[in-house]
Structure 1
Amino acid sequence: MRTCILVSALHYPALHASHSGIWVSERGVTREVSRGEAIRLAADTPVILLNAALVGQRLGYADLSGLDLLELFAFLHPARFMVPTPKGLAAVTGLDMPADDAHVAPFLLAAAERLLDVPAGDWRERDGAWTALQSLTRLRWAWAPPLGSRVAKPSSQERWLFTRLPEWSEAPPRPAPRTVTMPEGAVLDRLEELTGEGAEPRAGQQRFAAAASAAFAPRTLRDSPNLMLAEAGTGIGKTLGYLAPASLWAEAAGGAVWISTYTKALQRQLGAETRRVYPDEAVRRERVVTRKGRENYLCLLNLEDALQGGFAGRAAVLAQLVARWAAYSADGDMVGGDLPGWLPTLFRRNGSTALTDRRGECVYAGCPHYRKCFIERAARASAEADLVIANHAFVMVNAARGRETATRPTRYVFDEGHHLFDAADAMFGVALTGAETIELRRWIVGPEGTSRGRRRGLQARLSDLASYDEQGGAAVADIVAAAGALAADGWLGRLGEGAPFGPVEKLLAAVRGLTYARAEQPGDAGYALETELAEPSPELIEAAAPAAAALDALVRPMVALGKRLETVLADAPDWMDAPARARIEGAIASLGWRAETVAAWLALLSRIGGPADPAFVDWLAVDRAEGREYDIGLHRRWLDPTKPFAETVLKPAHGALVTSATLTAGGDWATAEARVGATHLLRPADRFEVASPFDYASHAEVLIVTDVKRGDVPQLANAYARLIEAAGGGTLGLFTAIRRLRAVHARVADRLAREGLPLHAQHVDPIDTGTLVDIFRDDPHASLLGTDALRDGVDVPGDSLRLVVMEGVPWPKPTVLHAARRLAGGGSAYDDRIVRARLAQAFGRLIRRQDDAGAFVLLSAAMPSRLLDAFPPGVPIRRLTLDEAAARVAERLSTRARIGHGAHLPA
């Protein structure tokens, strides 16, 4: 009987498409088909496949749908990850890996049967499944019919999402950290505990741990923390090196140490490392908390709206699968947490961003799910934690705008500290653009025209105040009226037609006209345009004054309303119940930083026609993608963004460790101090340096290819293909331009696939970057193409990454901002420092552990010899032709394959 059910449930064919071909398996027969036949089949019959978005892209059929095994896995095993490839599917189902692409389609049928058998066994994620399946059946989810006969109705009512989630509880304020000192011996003893019994002591790691403890010494000067800058080469073990003094200080002082990284992927890696500090999972959940921006977490109120009909079609299916995940998630983190990164990409643009609070509309305690809110739970847990794992952007936002003033950390560790400058640059910048102003208008006014969703305007959120408090109600009315001057829906079209409406749109039209007049060049490829905000045109000067008046009319009642709301809360009238108080508290929190934003816009507008402020760089920009405009506006950045970083983050702290493997890369210690804000402190920073223990001279080499013409895409593509073929995969290809990455991928993907060498690409494959790296790491024959995010944040030890290829010297893009910093930073020497740092970071992807070996190839005959010191001392550097480079790579890899891991390179 069970077999009959299985056959009737899986009477659909399976479809697999790769760059090497397309196969269909049906009724025990597998055949290769054409693209047209595959599209016709998929259009007429639901098919079983793996990653519909990727298969649809390869077929050129964006609307492809069917029975996606990734969706089935997400339903059966929420909050679990699988690599979304046949190999990954084989690992989670216990099946043998298909031998080649031709065997994948029948393998998908077997994997579907194995997954559908899960409910019959010991299924730990059973709770809530039947309830969710009823909703998915109504939504006509493709997997609902075969699952319906296998997921039994529970004998009693299930604990579903909103009853299953635990509530957080309030705790008394945490006392200020005690003043403690840590003997070096205690720090080294803790390090020995973390590295494990019997581990061979590493002198470099011990020296690093001892030096890092200086950041935890008692502070002696106000507004001047104990700042330690520590450059620790790859392989030193700096994570455990700073976790030893950090965890020891947290226990002894009773305070929290915030450990900040640059990317969410690095946050995840660091979270895994803390298991050495707290092996017991229950203890670790209490002592270690990960913090990110609000926009990363699932909003339960938005999810409830989606489940109750706010979403339709495929977006509604996504909401149900996310709800399944939320019931089992550790922290509700949708970006880099335990939600599989591939899940939202399966639904393209259908709703994943609408499930988070990206618009600052949280009503805090007024939300019916406030006591179960993931964001509030993380905030309260971090107040009691020993270690808080954050990222640079969140640390800066929390220091500048955070509500948790009573629990601000006094000790920081900034890992990947060479990125602090870039993070501060983004955080403290100002953008008066159409996209920013229309977002503010929507927050104030609410839905307009055909807009739908839960979004409500400021007046609706504060209706109780308007009816009770005359002054507050008048201020709300003034804000809503003033918001009418901001850009509105359709503004880009009106600017294109020369018919802007309102003072802000007229300002943007003047910005657009002047930018095109000064920046567009003959043969322009349709990408972004920008020009300095200098010698403004009469039209721009004329438009600036009305726009400034409109923004001033907006910010004044915003400030007045904030003050009035604080007064109303203090008076606590009888009518104010908890939801009303929550709406007001939420409005105060949001009004504050929005008023600061408008004030910053006004300061930027005052620059038009006035003197330049030497502390800032101002410019005009028209943002375009492939010729299509998507934003227009004025921009302002600090010439030195570490100045506000030092004021808001470093000076209030008592101690900070800034560490990286490439902290001084591209320069010297003076450069490193300037890049992290140390020069703005009274107390000079301490310095520490320890070299990598790796034998780079024996395990790596740099090959500079001299006969690939710059800008010649066919030659570039041929070079990448030949080098990847010579290496047998395992290649990370790095590009400085997305356009060239896509062009190279289009030319070589099919060619490599025919050789059994999968090629994946950022900005091409409909897969998030973190999952692309997981796929790359899982398959030593795969290669990955990408840009800056892969140059700086990839940790792939072993044979999966044995060759790094860069398309050319990574010169900085000649923007207005770069030109200003170049002028202030020493001209060409400034460019050289940037290139050295980028080369050092790219080379650092290659050797990640003691037994790694590989080659770094630079496709540039114009590589200046003065920049070769970016690579570790002693690494062999050769200039040679592409033929010679390909032969060299093949020789090295064949030798390594013969004698195994840890092989030295041939002489």
Structure 2
Amino acid sequence: MIAYPALHASHGGIWIADALGTRPVGRGEAIRVAAETPVILLNAPLVGQRLGYAELSGLDLLELFAFLHPARFAVPTPAGLARAVDLSPPDADEDLAAFLLEATAALLAVPDGAWREREGAWTAAQSLTRLRWPWAPVIGPRLAKPERNERWLFATLPEWEEAPPRPDPRTVAIDPGEAEARLATLTGGGAEERPGQRAYAGAATAAFAPRSVQGAPNMVLAEAGTGIGKTLGYLAPASLWSQTAGGAVWISTYTKALQRQLSAETARVYPDPVLRRERVVTRKGRENYLCLLNLEDALQGGFAGRAAVLAQLVARWAAYSADGDMVGGDLPGWLPTLFRRNGPAALTDRRGECVYAGCPHYRKCFIERAARASAEADIVIANHALVMVNAARGRETANRPTRYVFDEGHHLFDAADAMFGVALTGSETIELRRWILGPEAGGRGRRRGLQARLSDVASYDEGGAQAIADAVRAAGALAADGWLGRLAEGAPFGPIEALLAAVRGLTYARAEQPGDAGYGLETELAEPTPELIEAAAPAAQALDALVRPLTALAKRLQAVLDEAPDWLDAGARARVEGAIASIGWRAETVAAWLALLARIGGPADADFVDWLGVDRSEGREWDVGLHRRWLDPTRPFAETVLKPAHGVLVTSATLTGGGDWSVAEARTGAPHLARAAARFEAASPFDYPAQSEVLIVTDVKRGDTGALANAYARLIVASGGGTLGLFTAIRRLRAVHGRIADRLAREGLPLHAQHVDPIDTGTLVDIFRDDPHASLLGTDALRDGVDVPGHSLRLVVMEGVPWPKPSVLHAARRLANGGSAYDDRIVRARLAQAFGRLIRRADDRGAFVLLSAATPSRLLSAFPPGVAVTRVTLDEAVARVATRLSESLSSGVRLGHGAGA
């Protein structure tokens, strides 16, 4: 019998279970019991939020699961845990506390059986005992001390090996018929005949043809409606070209969900899992991967308290992880959210401080292993941001991709906008200061400054040593710790903080309005005040004094490589090459800041949009600075990514955004190429008019939060859950959730919400997918990143028309791109993407509800042709949703499709 009680809290009530049975309790008693004795619970931050007791702690079953089964995923709900430990989930909320005791017993029995994650557990348990992890006294005695010393983590991780440079791809052409034959092999015999998919595969071969003119890639724009099967449609010619030409195809996505889906689909190309690991590699940015040096520092005392417990659990995971990816890989997304501080971020390389070959774990580094594996792979699954970063300033110049597939291509514009933008802000400058100076007074951790990282170069090269010293001295002018407080007090220190103070003052003067809600402020960088102009000159001088030694240092490091002194072995060379790349892009950043400062008091540049901003969240300032974006960010994208490539396929189900091909071309960079892009279009095979309808509710008053919440609650009840609710403002999302969560719980309908529940977005989607009675509220990330086929998603409700935010940047682009027609194109694209969440396969049925009486008819072309669009009252909408759902269930169309249905 488990000695501790179990606590379960939901919007439906609170229960405690112990040896005497289960009893309902009030919030006060639950908090008292949890404070007096350790309690067993599931997801402590979530339970604490529901109790209104943020500091709740106890024996969290998710932490125990992560210890016993590292690199395994379980949906972090009672039903998900039940499946993971092979138990039957309880049917009623009041039985869940007792179930937690049953699940605890099942998990504690794991060490007694055939436990494949046994290696390293005893050693980790000893460390966790010293850290007073609540589970340590319970699980520790159940772990037998190994007969021999365990080889723990850093000794067990495999080393990557160097490989000779890969030859350039051979010049081959892929016949459309060959691609269609490969597609037939991938889909397998007896598969449903899909003419659209076959035509898609044939058309995609044009992107793999030999290039005839330098700087003019073979570009194909392909809009393939949901259900066409575009993933296998492009994998067929991509894999055929790769195997024939001996080159790599980089497939880029915008969301991590599609990356995971793609990785699974490649099993059709390479059924053998060993071969698949060699031929298919998933790549992400450095900040996604566990840094072994940071982990070692955390394990050796760099972390304290709960963060130190996280480090031990992450170390357990790292020993079993396939790739060391902490964000979207095999680390459960819920694990970092159990630890409220910034421990997870400190375990990755977010500051660009990698010392490459100078690291004792360099040969085992997850990041370096992925980079080398991708050089030999046939298929590299990446994301838009990484592709652009690598093209603009990547270190891997020897094997640059020649063929790209950009899935979710409708997001290329936004990805390029973020990648090629410039921000001279306090947070950016303080990060640069820390990168150069390292820890200052009172700093802790393993962070090292530029001088420490390049000490051997400085001792060898006098010019390099001088450049480092000059950079260190100049970095003292950048914003320092406490800068936000000094700005608020009107006491900035140094030229950069003085500039930020002037930016802040002018932004408040021009942008804040009476009754301001406390969110971000911005104003055009136009007609600057004398104070801002006067502050810009010293700031520019300070930045110029910094960029000069950085540029000189990069040149001195290159000279060291050319001279090849005796101490410059292969490892040291790799470290110096990494330093050159890192210094180079920082020097480029400072140069871009200087160009932005030159705009103050000077002429505007028609290619850019410049503004001043104060970033705030619920009234709390967190950044201040100047911003610059390209008016058309596909121009630098075309120069750095498209023109060097030989072939590019850009594809999406909503590439034209409910508009025409000019929209698709403008948002993918096609007009900036000498060769016109080819076009392909395949309509979805789904019968949208029969499977769906669009309801526009006419009697929910805009701005009436109570009426909005009532509408969501009634619609969710009518559909029996299975609702995705989309909002354009976090504040309204939270207000609606707060009003309806308890009400729905009494109906047996769980409600989850992004920006409310202390759970990452990916895990929220997993929970939603797992329970056909659950509903999920969210914002933009859920409009595009949710793939939930089957009964778990049968209703999409939008709070209103998703108009673009009236920012300085949007106003400039609107003016340059047709005024209101530009707004309409954006809204149609967003509506098309949101509607696309509803019908994911041929047997889906559902309704799309828009709670906005003022929806213009001109926007309705965003929905598939033939779908009925009806303006109704809320009462009528509720009745029609209930009727459509009952018809679907009575016909058996969707029964059993949702996990747990």
Query: Within 2, Cα distance between the matches of 1:56 and 1:581?
Result: 51
Q: Return the letter of the residue paired with 1:690.
A: A
Q: 1:423 aligns with which of 410, 415, 439?
A: 415
Q: 2:746 aligns with which of 726, 747, 754?
A: 754
Q: Return the letter of the residue paired with 2:587.
A: A
Q: Which residues of 2 match residues 376-525 of structure 1 at below 5 A?
A: 376-525=368-517
Query: Within 2, Cα distance between the matches of 1:787 and 1:279?
Result: 37
CA contact (8 A) 1:367 1:579 kept: no
Q: 1:199 aligns with which of 191, 197, 219?
A: 191
Say yes or no: does 1:99 pair with 2:91: yes
Q: 1:824 aligns with which of 807, 811, 816?
A: 816
Residue matched to 2:234: 242
Residue matched to 2:161: 169
Q: 2:781 aligns with which of 785, 789, 796?
A: 789
Q: Return the letter of the residue paired with 1:739.
A: R
Residue matched to 1:685: 677
CA contact (8 A) 2:180 2:236 kept: yes
Q: Deviations over 1:52-102 (max 9, x none)?
A: 010011111111111100001001110000000000011011111111110
Q: CA deviation at 1:793?
A: 1.1
Cα 1:30–1:579 shift into 2, 3 Å? same
Q: Return the letter of the residue paired with 2:481.
A: D
Q: CA deviation at 1:466?
A: 2.7
Q: CA deviation at 1:413?
A: 0.3
Query: Within 1, Cα distance between the matches of 2:564 and 2:218?
Result: 43
Residue matched to 1:356: 348
Residue matched to 2:548: 556
SS at match of 2:776: strand
Cα 1:581–1:902 shift into 2, 3 Å? closer
Residue matched to 2:253: 261
SS at match of 2:680: strand
Residue matched to 1:136: 128
Q: Which residues of 2 match residues 280-291 of structure 1 at below 5 A?
A: 280-291=272-283
Larger mean Cα displacement after TM superposition, 349-358 or 693-702: 349-358
Q: Which residues of 2 match residues 775-814 of structure 1 at below 5 A?
A: 775-814=767-806
Q: Deviations over 1:86-124 (max 9, x none)?
A: 000110111111111100000000000001101111111
Q: 1:116 aligns with which of 108, 114, 120?
A: 108
**Structure 1 vs Structure 2 CA RMSD:** 1.0
Larger mean Cα displacement after TM superposition, 455-464 or 314-323: 455-464
Q: CA deviation at 1:575?
A: 4.6
Q: Deviations over 1:278-314 (max 9, x none)?
A: 1110010000000000000000000011111111111
Q: Deviations over 1:612-665 (max 9, x none)?
A: 000000000000011111000000000000000000000000000000000011
Query: Within 2, Cα distance between the matches of 1:319 and 1:819?
Result: 46
Normalising by structure 2, report the TM-score: 0.98
SS at match of 1:78: coil
SS at match of 1:405: coil
Q: CA deviation at 1:580?
A: 5.4
Cα 1:165–1:451 shift into 2, 3 Å? same
Residue matched to 1:81: 73
Query: Within 2, Cα distance between the matches of 1:513 and 1:98?
Result: 58
SS at match of 1:710: coil
Query: Within 1, Cα distance between the matches of 2:405 and 2:424?
Result: 33
Larger mean Cα displacement after TM superposition, 87-96 or 578-587: 578-587
CA contact (8 A) 2:408 2:652 kept: yes
Say yes or no: does 1:635 pair with 2:627: yes
SS at match of 1:797: coil
Q: CA deviation at 1:902?
A: 5.8
Q: Which residues of 2 match residues 490-639 of structure 1 at below 5 A?
A: 490-576=482-568, 581=573, 583-639=575-631
Q: 1:215 aligns with which of 207, 232, 248?
A: 207
Q: CA deviation at 1:666?
A: 3.8
SS at match of 1:102: helix
Say yes or no: does 1:872 pair with 2:855: no
Query: Within 2, Cα distance between the matches of 1:850 and 1:522?
Result: 52
Q: CA deviation at 1:128?
A: 1.0
CA contact (8 A) 1:194 1:277 kept: yes
Residue matched to 1:337: 329
Q: 2:178 aligns with which of 183, 186, 189?
A: 186
Query: Within 2, Cα distance between the matches of 1:155 and 1:748?
Result: 57
Query: Within 2, Cα distance between the matches of 1:627 and 1:148?
Result: 47
Q: CA deviation at 1:460?
A: 1.6
Q: CA deviation at 1:573?
A: 2.8
CA contact (8 A) 2:357 2:572 kept: no
Say yes or no: does 1:226 pair with 2:218: yes
Query: Within 2, Cα distance between the matches of 1:541 and 1:148?
Result: 65
CA contact (8 A) 1:733 1:806 kept: yes
Residue matched to 1:890: 882
Residue matched to 1:3: none
Q: CA deviation at 1:589?
A: 2.1
Q: 1:770 aligns with which of 753, 762, 787?
A: 762
CA contact (8 A) 2:790 2:894 kept: no
Unaligned runs of 5+ in 1: 1-6
Q: Return the letter of the residue paired with 2:316.
A: R
Cα 1:74–1:734 shift into 2, 3 Å? same
Residue matched to 2:898: none
Q: CA deviation at 1:463?
A: 2.1
Q: CA deviation at 1:264?
A: 1.5
Q: Return the letter of the residue paired with 1:477.
A: A
Cα 1:314–1:218 shift into 2, 3 Å? same
CA contact (8 A) 1:666 1:834 kept: no
CA contact (8 A) 1:84 1:342 kept: yes
Q: Return the letter of the residue paired with 2:218.
A: N
Residue matched to 1:853: 845
SS at match of 1:767: coil
Residue matched to 2:310: 318
Q: CA deviation at 1:569?
A: 2.5
Query: Within 1, Cα distance between the matches of 2:172 and 2:463?
Result: 51
SS at match of 1:464: helix
SS at match of 1:388: strand
Query: Within 1, Cα distance between the matches of 2:206 and 2:891?
Result: 44
CA contact (8 A) 1:780 1:801 kept: yes
Query: Within 2, Cα distance between the matches of 1:387 and 1:332?
Result: 19
SS at match of 1:676: coil
Unaligned runs of 5+ in 2: 896-901
Query: Within 2, Cα distance between the matches of 1:794 and 1:527?
Result: 27
Larger mean Cα displacement after TM superposition, 649-658 or 564-573: 564-573
Q: Deviations over 1:712-732 (max 9, x none)?
A: 111100100000000000000
Residue matched to 2:20: 28
Say yes or no: does 1:737 pair with 2:729: yes
Normalising by structure 1, report the TM-score: 0.98
Q: CA deviation at 1:877?
A: 0.8
Say yes or no: does 1:367 pair with 2:331: no
Q: CA deviation at 1:571?
A: 1.9
CA contact (8 A) 1:776 1:784 kept: yes
Query: Within 1, Cα distance between the matches of 2:3 and 2:651?
Result: 57
Q: CA deviation at 1:572?
A: 2.8
SS at match of 1:406: coil
Query: Within 2, Cα distance between the matches of 1:902 and 1:730?
Result: 12
Q: Return the letter of the residue paired with 2:68.
A: L
Q: Return the letter of the residue paired with 1:378.
A: A
